[in-house]
Amino acid sequence: MIALGRATVLAALLMTSAAVAQTEGTPIETPPVPLPPEKQAIVKEQARREEVPEAHLAKQVTVGMVVPDNIALWTLPQDSVSEVPAVTSYKFLLIGKSIAVVDPESRKVIQIIPN
């Protein structure tokens, strides 16, 4: 009976080790969710209505670039986030005739909306 108990414990430990090994590793980064066209229109309207000042960057804005900390980011209008919870934290900035949607945690540009 003791031998059976040890075998059971050993089997349980091996299964636990295998489960831990499967759950460890590099986390998978989910891609950002771009704003759909109807939400882009709402962001454009807010930028016009609130007269958002244009940001001045040393280089052209591209998707994936990191926006410097000294550049102010604006909160997306509530209408653009109420139906798409995945974008609630996104912010934006105005660059020339374009609006760059930014993930504020990484400060990466995830989408450029032509204005």
pLDDT tens track for 15-30: 444 444 445 667 676 7
Residue 37, both tokens: 């066209």
First to last CA, the chain: 76
- This prediction has a pTM of 0.67
Rounded Cα distance, 76 and 92, in Å: 7
Q: Are 105 and 112 in contact (CB under 8 A)?
A: no
Residue 111, both tokens: 């989408």
Residue, of 23 and 31, whose pLDDT is higher: 31
Instruction: Indicate the fold that domain 37-114 takes in CATH.
Output: Nuclear Transport Factor 2; Chain: A, (3.10.450)
Residue, of 31 and 110, whose pLDDT is higher: 110
**pLDDT (tens digit, 9 = 90+) per residue, 55-109?**
999 899 999 999 999 999 999 877 544 555 544 688 999 998 899 999 999 999 9
CA-only gyration radius of the chain, Å: 23
CB atoms within 10 A of CB 98: 13
